[in-house]
Structure 1
Amino acid sequence: MKRVVVGLSGGVDSSVAAYLLKEQGYEVIGLFMKNWHDDSVTISDECPWLEDSNDALLVAEKLGIPFQTVDLSEEYKERIVDYMFNEYEKGRTPNPDVLCNREIKFDVFMKIALSLGADYVATGHYCRKGTIEEDGKKIYRLLAGVDTNKDQSYFLCQLSQEQLSKALFPIGELTKPQVREIAAKMELVTAEKKDSQGLCFIGKVRLPEFLQQQLKPKEGTIYEIATDAALYNAETPQFASVKEQLAYEAETKAYTPQMGKAVGKHQGAHYYTIGQRKGLNVGGTKEPLFIIATDVETNAIYTGQGSTHPGLFKKALYIQESEIHWVREDMQLKDGETMEAMVRIRYRQALKKATLHKFDNGMYIEFEEPQSAITEGQFAAWYIGDELIGSGVIS
């Protein structure tokens, strides 16, 4: 019997994952991760980790598997929370869930599991793992979940071959309704439990309130840039190379207050992100305002009217060399090589056709159609078919 440690989160997905593994004959241990309990942040009354760990315990008792709680809040603060604040301060928008999987669940947590003699770590992610052999070597594949509505492969886009080799995703072949059905049949306390919202650690808090604990409010101006502003009608220059053209297409436009008109005030450019519509509190425009750029240096926010504003769209994005990650190391591009792939620039976004161009200093992803709200700090993930091949931080 192989031993598996399941990250029991107190939700229905991980509960059913544990049940299925037990049915398959594994020796299963349930481990609950406590990632956050900082009372200096005024949300502890709202923090549902106690309720979650209690639900996880009840599930473990029902399934007759050993259970314990591990406190990873110190590592969590250091690797996720501090990183997030740091990124927001620079005016980038990080993805804590992707980091949580890379740094916590499949690193710190996995090491604890292996120290308990586990052969594998399992989670309730909607994705699948495949294996192929090449030259006698096992290669692990990260595949989308069967439930296209819930596919969570994107959140695991930073995993390595080493991490994948020890990972199991028992519910990847199931749809959410099927998972709930199994939980109800087994009378698991989590069967009807709503999916958790918010960040993977701070419970029910809204992100801006959390950020305000660390990043001090600082009043600045909101500017509106017209759709027919001169910089959108500038002539496209002649390019000496493909690389030059891609750099031009991926470039973030530089806005100045002179280009637009002041339409309101905000409490800090670092609280906002590209493509954001809510929370601006500026009325009186024909169409809703969308954020097209933020400048944390000058503390200015630039907006445009409507979801088709030219300031929202770009044809390409850039990933620095040090930020490129290949899940399939055997498929990585060399300098000068290209690859056709389907790319996602945020969770829940439909996959878009694109070409990857690899250069000595990094990689450009050129989309067939211009994409809205390409956001610095988020992860771009590229797929071939239903397999996630690699990812990188948009720069």
Structure 2
Amino acid sequence: MKRVVVGLSGGVDSSVAAYLLQKQGYEVIGLFMKNWHDDSVTISNECPWLEDSNDALLVAEKLGIPFQTVDLSEQYKEKIVDYMFNEYEKGRTPNPDVLCNREIKFDVFMKIALSLGADYVATGHYCRKTEIEVNGELIYQLKAGADGNKDQSYFLCQLSQEQLAKSLFPIGELTKPEVREIAAEMDLITAEKKDSQGLCFIGKVRLPEFLQQKLQPKEGVIIQIDKNDSIYDFEKKDDLSLEEELKLASKKLPYTPQMGKVVGKHQGAHYFTIGQRKGLNVGGTTDPLFIIATNVETNTIYTGLTSSHPGLFRKALRIEKDEVHWIRKDLALANGESKEFMVRIRYRQPLQKATLYQFEKEMYIAFDEPQSAITEGQFAAWYSDDELVGSGVIS
């Protein structure tokens, strides 16, 4: 009997994951990760982690499995929260969920599980793991969850072969309704529980308020750029190399306040992200305003009318060489190589056709169709069919 530690989060997905493993004959232990109790950064008056850990405990009791809580708040603050503040300060938009999986659940938490004699760590992610042999070597594949609506492979895009080797995803072949049905049949307290929103394991958090506790508000202006501005008149230069062309296509446009008109004020450019529509509090425009660029140095936000504004779209993105991560190292591109993949630049975005180009110092991803709101600090993940083979931080 192999021993599995399940990260019981107090939600329905991890509850059913634990039950299914038990049914398959594994010896199951439930661990709840407590990742936050810093009262100096208040999150809300509710205390969701207490409620969640109680639900996790009740599920463990119902299944008759050992249960304990592990306090990872120190590591979480250092590896996730501090990183987030630093990124926002630089005007980038990090993805805490991807990082939480790489740095906490499948690293710190996994080490604790293995120290308890576990053979595997299991989570309630909607994704699948399969194995193949390449040149006599066993290789793990990370595949999309069977429920296209809930596929969470994107959040695991930074995992390594070593982490996948020790991971199990028991609900990957199921749909969300099927998972709820199993929980109801088993009379688990989490059967009807709503999915948690907000930061990975911090609980019910609204980002601007969270950030305001560390990053000081400072007033700046909101500028509206006309869609017919000359900055969007791209002249095709004939004498450029492929690398120079890609560099140009992935570059941020150099907006200045003189290009547009002031339409409002904001409390800090670092609270906002590309493509954002809500929270600008600018009235009187014919159509909704979208953020097309932010500049934290000058504390300026640039906006454009409607979701089809040219300032929202780019044909390519850039990833620095040391930020390129291949889950399938055997498929990694060498310097000078290129290959077509399906790519997404955010969770739930439909996969987009693109070509990856690996150069000496960086990788470029060129899309067949221009993409809206390519955002620095977020992850681009590339797929071959339903297999996630690599990812990288957009720079």
1:247-306 Cα shifts (integer Å, max 9, x gaps): 010010010001001110000000000000000000111110000000000000000000
3-state DSSP class of the match of 2:243? helix
Does the 8 Å CA contact 1:144/1:151 hold for their aligned counterparts? yes
Does the 8 Å CA contact 2:44/2:204 hold for their aligned counterparts? no
CA drift at 1:238:
2.6
Distance 1:234 1:116 in 2: 59
Structure 2 unaligned residues grouped into runs of 5+ = none
Distance 1:44 1:268 in 2: 22
Instruction: Give the structure 2 partner of residue 98 of structure 1.
Output: 98
Work out the percentage of aligned pairs sharing the same amino acid: 78
Is 1:307–2:297 an aligned residue pair? Answer: no
Distance 1:131 1:63 in 2: 30
Distance 1:205 1:68 in 2: 25
Distance 1:100 1:306 in 2: 34
Instruction: Give the structure 2 partner of residue 191 of structure 1.
Output: 191
Distance 2:133 2:236 in 1: 47
Does the 8 Å CA contact 1:161/1:327 hold for their aligned counterparts? yes
Instruction: Give the structure 2 partner of residue 79 of structure 1.
Output: 79
Distance 2:339 2:234 in 1: 30
Instruction: Give the structure 2 partner of residue 245 of structure 1.
Output: 245
Instruction: Give the structure 1 partner of residue 386 of structure 2.
Output: 386
- Structure 2 counterparts to residues 239-318 of structure 1, below 5 A: 239-318=239-318
Distance 1:13 1:61 in 2: 17
In structure 2, what residue type is equivalent to 1:303?
A: T
CA drift at 1:195:
0.2
The two structures have a TM-score, normalised by structure 1, of 0.99
Instruction: Give the structure 2 partner of residue 59 of structure 1.
Output: 59
CA drift at 1:44:
5.0
In structure 2, what residue type is equivalent to 1:346?
A: R
Distance 1:65 1:137 in 2: 35
Instruction: Give the structure 1 partner of residue 50 of structure 2.
Output: 50
CA drift at 1:38:
0.7
- Structure 2 counterparts to residues 20-39 of structure 1, below 5 A: 20-39=20-39
Distance 2:373 2:46 in 1: 31
Equivalent pairs counted in the alignment come to 395
Does the 8 Å CA contact 1:356/1:364 hold for their aligned counterparts? yes
Distance 1:49 1:273 in 2: 28
The two structures have a TM-score, normalised by structure 2, of 0.99
Is 1:158–2:158 an aligned residue pair? Answer: yes
CA drift at 1:205:
1.9
- Structure 2 counterparts to residues 344-363 of structure 1, below 5 A: 344-363=344-363
3-state DSSP class of the match of 1:45? coil
CA drift at 1:235:
1.9
Does the 8 Å CA contact 2:44/2:205 hold for their aligned counterparts? no
In structure 2, what residue type is equivalent to 1:337?
A: E
Is 1:169–2:169 an aligned residue pair? Answer: yes
Distance 2:234 2:116 in 1: 62
CA drift at 1:201:
2.8
Instruction: Give the structure 2 partner of residue 181 of structure 1.
Output: 181
Distance 2:298 2:236 in 1: 28
CA drift at 1:237:
2.5
Distance 2:240 2:92 in 1: 31
- Structure 2 counterparts to residues 320-359 of structure 1, below 5 A: 320-359=320-359
- RMSD (Å), alpha carbons: 0.7
Instruction: Give the structure 2 partner of residue 131 of structure 1.
Output: 131
Does the 8 Å CA contact 1:37/1:44 hold for their aligned counterparts? no
Is 1:375–2:375 an aligned residue pair? Answer: yes
1:340-382 Cα shifts (integer Å, max 9, x gaps): 1000000010000000000000100000000000000000000
1:187-217 Cα shifts (integer Å, max 9, x gaps): 0000000000111133112100000000000
In structure 1, what residue type is equivalent to 2:187?
A: E
In structure 1, what residue type is equivalent to 2:309?
A: H
Distance 1:213 1:116 in 2: 37
In structure 1, what residue type is equivalent to 2:378?
A: Q
Does the 8 Å CA contact 2:34/2:70 hold for their aligned counterparts? yes
Does the 8 Å CA contact 1:46/1:203 hold for their aligned counterparts? no
In structure 1, what residue type is equivalent to 2:2?
A: K
1:80-130 Cα shifts (integer Å, max 9, x gaps): 000000000000000000000000000000000000000000000000001
1:115-147 Cα shifts (integer Å, max 9, x gaps): 000000000000000100112210000000000
